[in-house]
Amino acid sequence: MRKEKGHIFVPIIIVLLLIFTGCKDTSTYKAEEEINGGNTIAKYSDRFSYLLEYPIDSIAFPRSADANGVIKRVPSKDWTSGFFPGSLWNIYRLTDDTRYRDRAKEWTAFIEKEKYNDKTHDMGFKVFCSFGNGYKILNDPTYKDIIIASAKTLSTRYNDKIGSIRSWDFNKEEWQFPVIIDNMMNLELLFEASKYSQDQRYYDIAEQHAKTTLKNHFRTDNSSYHVVDYDTITGHIRSKVTHQGFGKESSWARGQAWGLYGYTMAYRYTESTEFLEQAKKIATFLIHHNRLPEDAIPYWDFDAPKIPNEPRDASAAAIIASAMIELYEYTTDKKYLEFSDKIMSSLSSENYVIQDKTEVPFILKHSTGNWPKNDEINGPISYADYYFLEAILRRKELK
């Protein structure tokens, strides 16, 4: 996430023109012609308005929608609760329309109680996507205090012997101390809280968690396991498995996206070359994978058995696109920016932006949540929108 540079009202069509034409000399697709066609971009303001009009309810954060437009609503304790207010903050930054800012404040307030929830590792997803974005816009000291309190709570899940933050508390009959690749994303909260509070421990926990994950989560081809379970007494690895991928040795697409984003972000705070190198290795795995579709939107798992007849995951693509922009900033290697632009061109097309008048508070379709449980398959999901909007903002800020 980038430091706020002020708000200038620009119609959404012009914003997106600036974004995608910024590197037309290096891109492999015809982004300018695509945008000038207007067929996709004209839908953005409509889709944004559905987020604004969704009724406020403290226990009904919109998480996803099924094929019939039925919205899955969740309370603040759900790991996805922060993405909807985060998207509203991002739309405000894109449009300077204060209605989105005000609505973001209302939704964000409902998440405050999560700062004391020590039963989850998802503090970053919930609190930083909401209060973190809000703080960078409003500079409200109350928001900062909530972020610090949340970091304090999250740090209670850290185990010095293992060198990691515990991810999940369920499935105790099988796992002792499970750590998932997704947990890399929650380190941003700790790094920021360390700056806000001048408490070095938050930084140290985040850095060590990233080191432990780097050591144990990755295969020789730089793909990632989803879950690594540790022995709480010895700190040794008990097993490496999956919970949301096709199999324990498969490459679950969103897991690879979390890893890319997580190590790029970790480099931002630590300037550790080993973190940057890992991000580059993951990027290479993704860019050159022989099962990546032509439009660069991955199937839900790179090893799913029925490719090409498998669901895509637009959420994984959006996370990758956002991370690749930041990776480009640190390396100035144009292949990362070109790959991000290719993804964003695809996601901005009518194939992935919701085209009809279905009144759901989402922008993108074709995301896959949890395939093994047949849950949230091939539909809109809140975190896809969040990282899609973040990628638009990051691309804009390159100019």
Q: Report yes or no: 313 and 299 within 8 Å, Cβ to Cβ.
A: yes
Residue 399: its pLDDT value, please? 66
Q: 85: which 2 tokens?
A: 């207010």
Clarify whether 46 is annotated catalytic. Answer: no
Q: Which of 46, 57, 118, 122 is catalytic?
A: 122
Could you give the CA distance from residue 2 to residue 396 in angstroms, rounded to a whole number? 11
d(CA 200, CA 190): 10
* pLDDT on residue 44: 73
pTM as predicted = 0.91
The residue from 78, 182, 313, 341 that is catalytic is 182
12-397: in CATH 1.50.10.10: yes
Q: Is 122 a catalytic residue?
A: yes
Is the distance from CB of 293 to CB of 314 less than 8 angstroms?
no
pLDDT in 10s for each residue of the chain, 399 residues: 333 333 332 333 334 444 444 444 434 334 433 333 334 334 477 889 999 999 999 999 999 999 999 999 999 999 999 999 999 999 999 999 999 999 999 999 999 999 999 999 999 999 999 999 999 999 999 999 999 999 999 999 999 999 999 999 999 999 999 999 999 999 999 999 999 999 999 999 999 999 999 999 999 999 999 999 999 999 999 999 999 999 999 999 999 999 999 999 999 999 999 999 999 999 999 999 999 999 999 999 999 999 999 999 999 999 999 999 999 999 999 999 999 999 999 999 999 999 877 889 999 999 999 999 999 999 999 999 999 999 999 999 986
Residues 6+ apart with CB under 8 A from 316: 253, 254, 256, 257, 298, 300, 367
In a 3-state reduction of DSSP, which class is residue 280?
Answer: helix
Q: pLDDT tens across 141-171, in order?
A: 999 999 999 999 999 999 999 999 999 999 9
Per-residue confidence (pLDDT) for residue 2, from 0 to 100: 35
Q: Name residues whose C-beta falls within 8 Å of residue 44's C-beta, 6 or more positions apart in sequence.
A: 12, 13, 16, 353, 363
Instruction: Tell me the C-alpha distance between 77 and 73, whole Å.
Output: 12
Q: State the DSSP string of 174-236.
A: T-SEEEEGGGGGGHHHHHHHHHHH--HHHHHHHHHHHHHHHHHSB-TTS-B-SEEEE-TTT--
Alpha-carbon span 181 to 166, nearest angstrom: 11
pLDDT value at residue 6: 33
Distance CA 91, CA 302 (A): 31
In the chain, what are the domain boundaries?
Answer: 12-397
Q: With contact defined as beta carbons under 8 Å apart, do 279 and 270 qualify? A: no
* Cα(202)–Cα(122) distance, integer angstroms: 15
Q: Are the CB atoms for 153 and 117 separated by under 8 Å?
A: yes
Which 3 state secondary structure label does DSSP give 10?
coil
Torsion of CA 299, 303, 307, 313, to 10 degrees: -10
